Amino acid sequence: MSPSERDPDAELLEQIGRQDPAAVRSLVARKLPRLLALAMRMLGDRMEAEDVAQEVFVRIWKQASRWHEGDAKFDTWVHRVALNLCYDRLRGRREDLRDELPDEVDPAALPDARLEARAQHERVRAALAALPARQREALVLSYYQEMSNLDAAALMGITVDALESLLARARRNLRAQLAGSGLSKDKS
């Protein structure tokens, strides 16, 4: 494997495999924001997202010495672990995700535009949470995690055509839900 083809995380993983705490800090700084964003969008709960991210890093610490470059891209493995942990938590929930959205009141006086943006964000978040899990996963990986269709499909263990089909259904479902909530692209 040429140096240009080397996994960008390979050297850090080798150092982590040798129990180097500085390498762990570096990897956490590199991966934590995206892992938190992924878990937050999948679970809709900041504390649960932090727990998932923490568990991912514990698994990295334990598995780093056994990871072999070339078996899979490290970033793909990390995302798969995070998604699996999110699904474990979603399966463990008894209540409907749509009922978990907090009714927070911001004590500060906000301009109308900021209030409307927040309301729009909440409608989108609720619509995303209401999607079937695989559709939500496809959207989160493609749009929020900015993965290519090829990478997202590989991570989900499906073909690119299947991913594109999931994305089309997810967008259609989101449009329908958002139209029902009064949010559409045609509204200003």
Same domain, 78 and 125: no
Among 42, 61, 95, identify where a domain stops.
95
CATH number of the CATH domain containing 183: 1.10.10.10
Same domain, 90 and 12: yes
Helix-strand-coil split of the chain, %, nearest 5: 75, 0, 25
Same domain, 117 and 91: no
> What global pTM score does this model have?
0.58
Q: What string of pLDDT tens digits covers the 188 residues of the chain? A: 455 577 788 888 888 888 888 988 998 999 999 999 999 999 989 999 999 999 998 888 888 777 766 666 888 888 888 999 999 998 887 555 455 555 565 555 455 666 777 777 888 888 888 999 999 999 989 988 888 999 899 999 999 999 999 999 999 999 998 887 665 544 43
Containing domain of residue 138, as a range?
113-188
Q: State how far the Cα of 127 lies from the Cα of 87, in Å rounded to an integer.
A: 18
Domain membership flag for residue 108: no
* Structural domains counted in the chain: 2
Confidence at residue 134, expressed as pLDDT on a 0 to 100 scale = 93
Among 68, 95, 122, identify where a domain stops.
95
Q: Where are the alpha helices (DSSP H) in 64-144?
A: 74-92, 112-130, 133-139
Residue with tokens 């709960």: 45
Contact present, 163 and 64 (Cβ < 8 Å)? no
Q: How far is CA 63 from the centre of its chain?
A: 21
The candidate with the shortest Cα–Cα distance to 138, out of 125, 127, 154, 114, is 154
Same domain, 91 and 121: no
* CB contact burial 85-113 (16+ within 10 A = b; e otherwise): bbeebbeeeeeebeeeeeeeeeeeeeeee
Tens digit of each residue's pLDDT (9 = 90 or more) over 159-173: 999 999 999 999 999
Same domain, 84 and 137: no
CATH number of the CATH domain containing 79: 1.10.1740.10
